[in-house]
Amino acid sequence: MAAEQRRPSWGLTRRQSLKSFAYLFAAGFGVSTVTTACNRVASTGGAAQPATAQAKATVLRIGHQKFDPFILIKARGGLEERLKSFGTRVEWIEFQSGPPLLEALNAGSIDIGRTGDAPPIFAQAADTPFFYVGSGAPRPKSSGILVPANSPLSSLADLKGKQIGFQRGSSAHFLVVQAVKQAGLSWNDIEPVNLTPADARAAFEQNNIDAWGIWDPFYAAAEKQLNAKSLSTGEGLAPNREFFLASKAFVADNEALLVALLEETAEVAKWADSNPAEVVEVLAPVTGLDPEILDVVTRRRSYIFDPVQAEAIAEQQRIADAFYELELIPKAVNVSDVIWTPT
């Protein structure tokens, strides 16, 4: 099916979805002013009114990973069309994981990006100027701790004294923290090995690490291609929620533009949750991943997109407190300090 033929099924009409997104913010934060801002956009039939006061950014730089909702938005092409009335074009910049994406946000190289739960904790502790501007649903089945098919390890308790590869500051970092705790071990009982997903996979294949904490699609790919076995998923350990983060400077000057982007994200997320087979069809050529792997990845997660609710904030605070207790971040952080409230 051609992309042009597929587009009407992506979700609500622009007017409907803008009103829906505005309502979510009003309900989530008790803020009514965003409804007014969104209605100014909706009154044009879905396109933002061309006004230079609405957005200073002529380029919106979006950081994304190999598999996340921004990839679907990019594949659709609707965001570029929507932002034309702002006089803004879109640049897409891919990252292998969340930590380097947050480094780019801190350096001013991107304006907004999507990561897992741990990267923003480390970023806030390092005084990166950002806001949480949206979140997804928990995805505990989308990450896990893997061991080789022939490994003698069969439980989390067996990780004592073992080398566990994961990227420092990533969502897998918190998963490993929780797994070690659940196993009755201390952090000093394991040997953490800081590796990017690509380097960790190579080390895993060569038996240079005993276990690997990782997320999808790398997780699903290792299960299928390497016959890796899972000691545990994130269920009961880590929610593995995704977050959308924007630089404070960008938000300050481009709130209407940001609302348009978040509305598009919510619309695409709604479509994706209802059409997993079509998601695979769209993403296979874009990501270069095996459709069978993409199918597994898509069906064990949700694309739900919301304003950052109290439950998600509390989860993030628990993660921040755990990292601080283990002295993995240099100072305590208050997650509520960096939650965006529309004005």
CA–CA separation, 119 and 131 (whole Å) = 13
pLDDT in tens, 237-292: 999 999 999 999 999 999 999 999 999 999 999 999 999 999 999 999 988 899 99
Contact assessment for residue 257 and residue 60, using Cβ atoms and an 8 Å cutoff: yes
Residues 6+ apart with CB under 8 A from 8: none
Question: For position 54, what pLDDT does the model report?
Answer: 55
Residue 339 is encoded by which pair of tokens? 């939650």
Question: For position 44, what pLDDT does the model report?
Answer: 33
Question: For position 68, what pLDDT does the model report?
Answer: 84
Question: For position 49, what pLDDT does the model report?
Answer: 41
Question: For position 11, what pLDDT does the model report?
Answer: 33
**Edge to edge, what strands does the sheet with 89-95 contain?**
89-95, 59-65, 112-115, 243-247, 130-136, 305-306
Question: For position 50, what pLDDT does the model report?
Answer: 41
∠ CA 60-66-67 to the nearest 5 degrees? 95
Question: For position 154, what pLDDT does the model report?
Answer: 96
pLDDT in tens, 41-73: 333 334 444 444 456 889 999 999 888 889 899
SS3 169: coil
Question: For position 287, what pLDDT does the model report?
Answer: 86
Query: Of residues 38 and 260, which shows the higher confidence score?
Result: 260
Question: For position 66, what pLDDT does the model report?
Answer: 81
Classify 153 in phi/psi space as left (phi over 0), alpha (psi -120 to 50) or beta. Answer: beta
Share of the chain above pLDDT 90, in %: 77
Among the residue ranges 69-73, 180-184, 292-296, 308-312, the one predicted with the least confidence is 69-73
Average pLDDT for 162-185: 96
Question: For position 26, what pLDDT does the model report?
Answer: 39
Given a cut of 80, whether residue 321 has pLDDT beyond it is yes
Average pLDDT for 223-228: 96
Question: For position 36, what pLDDT does the model report?
Answer: 30
- DSSP characters over 40-107: HHHTTTSSPP--GGG---SEEEEEEESSSHHHHHHHH-HHHHHHGGGT-EEEEEEESSHHHHHHHHHH
Please state, as a whole number, how many other Cβ atoms lie within 10 Å of the Cβ of residue 25.
24
Fold agreement between 3-139+241-338 and 140-233: yes
Specify whether domain 3-139+241-338 bears CATH 3.40.50.620.
no
Contact assessment for residue 203 and residue 82, using Cβ atoms and an 8 Å cutoff: no
Q: For the chain, give every domain's residue range.
A: 3-139+241-338, 140-233
- Please tell me the CATH code under which domain 140-233 is placed: 3.40.190.10
Query: Of residues 250 and 7, which shows the higher confidence score?
Result: 250
SS3 195: coil
Query: Of residues 10 and 57, which shows the higher confidence score?
Result: 57
Q: At what angle do helices 291-299 and 276-287 cross, to 10 degrees?
A: 130
Work out whether the CA dihedral 196, 202, 205, 208 comes out positive or negative.
negative
Average pLDDT for 287-308: 93
Question: For position 56, what pLDDT does the model report?
Answer: 84
CA–CA separation, 51 and 43 (whole Å) = 14
When the pLDDT of each residue in the chain is averaged and rounded to a whole number, the result is 86
Among the residue ranges 43-47, 87-91, 123-127, the one predicted with the least confidence is 43-47
Work out whether the CA dihedral 123, 129, 130, 131 comes out positive or negative.
positive
Given a cut of 80, whether residue 139 has pLDDT beyond it is yes
